[in-house]
Amino acid sequence: MALELKSSDNKIFEVEELVAVQSETIKSLVEDGCADNVIPLPNVDSKTLELVLDWCKNHVDMKLDEEKLKEYEDKFIEVDQAVLYDLLLAANYLNIKDLLNRACQKVADMLKGKTPEQIRETLNIVNDFSPEEEEEIRKENLWAFEE
C-alpha cells in the first residue's frame, strides 16, 4: 500500500506504507485512519525528506543483514553540519528512533571537544549564569576544563 507525503516545499513523495511507518508519527496517522489523503509535513523540506526516506527504505531492505546495515548507516551519517541538523530535526519531528539516535551520536561526536562558549555559539544558547556562578562551576570541575 502506498502513502503520499508532501514536503514543506510542496513536493509529493510516494512511499510504501511499510517504509513510511518507520516514522512513529506517520504510523499513528495510519492507525488512526488519517492517511488516506496526502500527508503534509510542513517541517521537512524535500531534500531532507528524500534522505530520510532513503534511510527508512534501506532499513526495511537490509533488516536481516546487520553488517550491511551498519555500513550503510556509517556512510549515510557522513554529512555536513547543516544537513545533519536538518536530519536531526526531521527524525525528531517524524519520530524515527534509530535515525534520531544515529544523528545524535554524530552530533555528540562533533560537540564533545568544545568549550561551553563554543557550544553556546554553535547552538545559539544564552549564558544565563552570573560570572560568579560560572566561576564556581569551573572551580568545582576544574579537571573537566583541562586537557
Q: Does residue 139 touch another protein according to CB under 8 A?
A: no
Quote the CA–CA distance of 63 and 97 in Å, as a whole number: 15
Q: Does residue 82 touch another protein according to CB under 8 A?
A: yes
Q: Answer yes or no: are the C-beta atoms of 86 and 92 closer than 8 Å.
A: no
Taking CB under 8 A as the binding criterion, the range among 15-23, 28-36, 51-59, 139-147 that sits at the site for another protein is: 139-147
- Our CB check for another protein shows the closer of 9 and 17 to be 9
Half-sphere exposure of 55 (CA within 13 A, CB side): 27
Name the strands in the sheet holding 39-40, side by side, starting at the edge strand that comes first in the sequence: 12-16, 2-6, 39-40
Q: CB of 129: closest distance to another protein in angstroms? A: 7
- Residue showing cell 485512519: 33
Cell of 74: 556509517
Which spans of this chain sit near another protein (rule: CB under 8 A)?
8, 25, 43, 45, 82, 85-86, 88-89, 92-93, 100-101, 104-105, 107-109, 111-113, 115-116, 119-120, 123-129, 134, 137-138, 141, 143-145, 147
